[in-house]
Chain A
Amino acid sequence: MQVVLITRQKNPFDHRLAQAFKREGYRVYVIEGDCEGDLETTRALVQKEAGKIDLYVDVSDERHIADDFTVGHGLNEGVMRHVYEANVLWPMRALETFLPLLDAGQGKRLCFVSSAQASINETRDTDGYGYNLSKAAMHSFFQMIANKLTPSGYTLRIYDPMHREIAPDLAAEAALHYFVRRRGTERQNPLRDDETRLVFRDALGREHTW
């Protein structure tokens, strides 16, 4: 049985995604909390019960109601630190914790939630310093871990569920299909396989630039 771990379940999209995986016959583990104690507890549980993770889905996507300041109005550094810890430091620690279980799995697929709002090329925001900077940093991290782990058989999915634009159940169905399918039909054939390229797609299937 394929094993999926979903971290930081919080939004309606996250819950719908877990339900969709269960419906498709996956064994699903979920982390609801944010603290590092939950990481170790979950790691030990998955190690004991399944011994592996095939699909890793980090839905960390912290936004803060006070993250609406511009540089002209003054930075709220407390908000920036809070959002950076949630969107960057926690996901890094979580991936580090579960990587040995992913190494033991066959799927070796890493999926992360982001937002096209945090595309340096595309954003029209003047605020959101906490969110946008944290996600830009993570996009860089994704590219580096893709370079590190792809030779070991890992593939990555970066996904924008389009919160507030698309119904959570539709976004979850789109995510399920995007996360479990291969992008290509013939492995190692550069004309028919796109898996070595790290891309960023949204719930409507559109590809975004970094």
Chain B
Amino acid sequence: MMKNVIITGADRGLGLSLCKEYLGRGYRVFAGKYLQEYELLEALRAQNKNLHILPLDVANRNSITAARETVRTEAGGVLDMLISNAALMGPVNCSLYEPPMDLEAVWNSFSVNAMGAARMVELFLPLLDKSEMKRLCFVSSEVSCITLMKTSRDGGFPYPMSKAALNMCVRLMHNQLYPQGYTFRLYHPGWMKRVMPDGSRGEEAVYDPDHIAGHAAAYFEASLKDEQRLVMFDYLGQEWPF
């Protein structure tokens, strides 16, 4: 029976590459689309009818609810895997010595990067409950790691703060849902090349999203012998502290 996965933030980058990976692995893929200027998902859809494109803003409960109802209809009411990948970075003015700090940016980053993941799980839980797999995957970041944070990132506080909050969010969910049969993946994908609207790669950064997605998809899908442990893994298979 075909498995169903939903991927948020699938317009480009890792999200888009994960869509390709899971289509190749025989999944029915529901891709959350937020950026209207990107049409890479539509090009992928033309090649594979198992891709379903959903308008999805994880900061908006109505948007998530509408996406859920589409998945409910198209996937027979069952969702096997949820991949929370959508994130808000963006340049912000949030420096201690350049007042005033843009605190709305701090909130917006939290609302998308941490609460967005929680909203997705909350609203898709009825569909996930019907699956045997019950896999919840979250794309975090090395900057979520409080222990190893060695820079001030002055001017850019919101993103690391939101990702630390995401890790806490996943911890609370793990404490509740692991005993109910859910399994979790928390993943740091590394610094990936930016994908442009035409599909080309930016010059900065180290890794190509397609390469990282191959590793991430295998890790997200596999069964582990230590599922009871919640840890953050990176693209090299290394464990990170919180």
Contacts and interface: CB of A to CB of B under 8 A. Distances in A.
Contacts of A80: 115
Contact of B146 (A70, A127, A134, A210): A210
Nearest to B232: A120
Interface in B162-181: 162-165, 167-169, 171-173, 175-177
B107 A84 contact: yes
Nearest to A70: B176
A144 B154 contact: yes
Given A93-B101, A140-B149, A123 B172 contact: yes
Interface stretch (B2-10, B117-125, B198-206, B214-222): B117-125
B13 interface: no
B36 interface: no
Contacts, number: 132
Contacts of B38: none
A133 B122 contact: no
Interface of A: 70-72, 74-75, 77, 80-81, 84-85, 88-89, 92-93, 95-97, 99, 118, 120-121, 123-129, 132-141, 143-145, 147-149, 209-210
27 contacts: A70-B172, A71-B122, A72-B122, A72-B176, A72-B177, A85-B107, A88-B161, A96-B96, A99-B97, A120-B242, A123-B171, A123-B175, A124-B175, A126-B176, A133-B114, A136-B164, A137-B114, A137-B161, A137-B165, A139-B146, A140-B144, A143-B146, A144-B151, A145-B152, A147-B152, A149-B96, A210-B241
